[in-house]
Structure 1
């Protein structure tokens, strides 16, 4: 009878251990997404550059004219949908961002389609899609 109880108990422990390892990465993802939202909302776009994968930043640096456009606006709100898992190391997030022009005080909505990748070596999530496109040209 004891052997019959041992196998389910062993399977339960194995599943719990796997769930714990996965949840640690998921908790990290949740925290990074919250930090990114707070940085956009309160810190600005230039501070949000630190979330972008360094290889992406190097391959596609943000032009000075775009940086000046980011300085002319502030984020009034940031609403993101739940992340969608694409693979074990990639998620996608759809976010609606309210952007207010500092000079005219006019607000408009920007839809940002984000792609995030988990770096196993660094143990962190990187934004692969870059900063939100705030110009009307898409």
Structure 2
């Protein structure tokens, strides 16, 4: 008995998907990109998260071995995302709070930062344009 409403709902969702894709750069792809980035960050896979950063930013400000070594001294203990907001230019902003533990001192702290996501129509994907979080800001 529940099969018919479920199938109807699935069919309606399939009909709506092309409209979501056309209406501003694919919200589904944004969600997927944010999931990949946040998963990499949660696992302290900074190199993996770096691959989600806009190639233009990676080329302009490459991640040095020293910077990567500094990141690898930190273990992410929590990663809490806020909701998405859209700027006038179409960039999507998401506030995030990250808990990090220094592997050497075992000191834990919390850092807030904003992810910024840009739709690349040529590559048909979203890029994170804010770079990796600066866990050392103000230190």
TM over 0.5: yes
Band of TM-score, shorter chain: 0.7 to 0.9
**Structure 1: runs of 5+ lacking an equivalent:** 1-14
Query: More helix by proportion, 1 or 2?
Result: 1
Partner of 1:95: 96
Q: Offset of 1:87 from its aligned partner?
A: 3.8
Partner of 2:55: 54
Aligned residues: 124
Quote the RMSD (CA, aligned, Å): 2.3
* TM-score between the two structures when normalised by the length of structure 2: 0.79
1:114 matched to 2:108? The reply is no
Q: Counterparts of 1:1-138 in structure 2 under 5 Å? A: 18-19=19-20, 21-22=22-23, 25-87=26-88, 89-137=90-138
Pair member with larger Rg: 1
1:115 and 1:129 in contact (8 A); partners too:
yes
* TM-score between the two structures when normalised by the length of structure 1: 0.79
SS in 1 for 2:138: coil
Q: Offset of 1:28 from its aligned partner?
A: 0.9
